[in-house]
Amino acid sequence: MRIAVLSDIHGNVRALEAVLADIDHQNVDEIVNLGDCAYGPFDPSPVMDWLMTNDIPTVRGNEDVVLAAGPAGQEPRMAPFCRSRLSPSALTWLDALPLVRTVSGALLFHGTPRNESTYLLTAVTQNGPRTRPREEIAAMLPGISAPLLLCGHDHTPRHIQLANGTHIANPGSVGCPAYADDVPAPHAIENGTPHARYALIDLGNSSLEVALLTIAYDSAAAADEAMSNGFPDWAQWLASGRVT
**What span, in angstroms and rounded, lies between the C-alpha atoms of 192 and 187?**
15
Q: Which pLDDT belongs to residue 14?
A: 98
**What span, in angstroms and rounded, lies between the C-alpha atoms of 38 and 86?**
9
Q: pLDDT per residue over 110-140, tens digit each?
A: 999 999 999 999 999 988 999 999 999 999 9
Please compute, for residue 114, the number of CA atoms within 13 A of its CA located in the half-sphere on the CB side.
6
Domain extents in the chain: 2-240
What percentage of residues in the chain have a pLDDT greater than 70? 100
Q: Which pLDDT belongs to residue 127?
A: 87
Q: Which pLDDT belongs to residue 68?
A: 96
* CB-neighbour burial class of residue 54 (10 A; exposed 0-12, middle 13-18, buried 19+): exposed
SS3 state of residue 195: coil
φ, ψ of residue 92 in degrees (nearest 5):
-65, -40
In this prediction, the residues of the chain whose per-residue pLDDT falls under 70 are: none
SS3 state of residue 122: strand
pTM above 0.75, yes or no: yes
Q: Which pLDDT belongs to residue 72?
A: 78
**What span, in angstroms and rounded, lies between the C-alpha atoms of 116 and 36?**
10
**What span, in angstroms and rounded, lies between the C-alpha atoms of 48 and 44?**
6
Topology of the domain covering 2-240: Purple Acid Phosphatase; chain A, domain 2 (3.60.21)
Q: How far is CA 137 from CA 72, 162, 189, in A?
A: 32, 8, 19
